[in-house]
Structure 1
Amino acid sequence: MRITPAQRNENENRIRAAMDRLLRGEIPPGGKCDINTLAVEAAVDRTAFYGTRPYSHLRVEFERRLQALQQAEEIPDPREAQIVRLKTESIKLRERLAQSEQTIDELTDFRTQALARLAAQHEEIIRLRAAVAGASRVSRLPAPRSTVIGTGS
Structure 2
Amino acid sequence: MRISAAQRIENENRIRAAMDRLLRGEIPPGGKCDIKTLAREAAVDRTAFYGARPYAHLRTEFERRLQRLQEAGQIPDPREAQIERLKVEVATLKERLARAEDMNEELSEFRAQALARLAAQHEEILHLRGSVAAASLVTHLPTVRTTTIGSCS
**Corresponding residue SS for 1:138:** coil
| Partner of residue 124, structure 1 | 124
For residues 107 and 50 of structure 1, what CA distance do their matches in structure 2 show? 61
Q: 1:2-151 maps to which residues of 2 (within 5 A)?
A: 2-140=2-140
Using the size of structure 2 for normalisation, the TM-score is: 0.88
Of all paired residues, the percent bearing the same amino acid is 75
Q: CA RMSD in A?
A: 1.7
Q: Measured at CA, do residues 139 and 51 of structure 1 come closer, stay the same or move farther in structure 2, by a change above 3 Å?
A: farther
For residues 5 and 29 of structure 1, what CA distance do their matches in structure 2 show? 32
**Number of residue equivalences:** 144
For residues 103 and 88 of structure 2, what CA distance do their matches in structure 1 show? 23
Gaps of 5+ in 1: 146-153
For residues 102 and 7 of structure 2, what CA distance do their matches in structure 1 show? 67
AA partner of residue 30 (structure 1): G
Q: Measured at CA, do residues 73 and 139 of structure 1 come closer, stay the same or move farther in structure 2, by a change above 3 Å?
A: farther
Gaps of 5+ in 2: 146-153
**Corresponding residue SS for 2:137:** coil
Q: CA deviation at 1:36?
A: 0.5
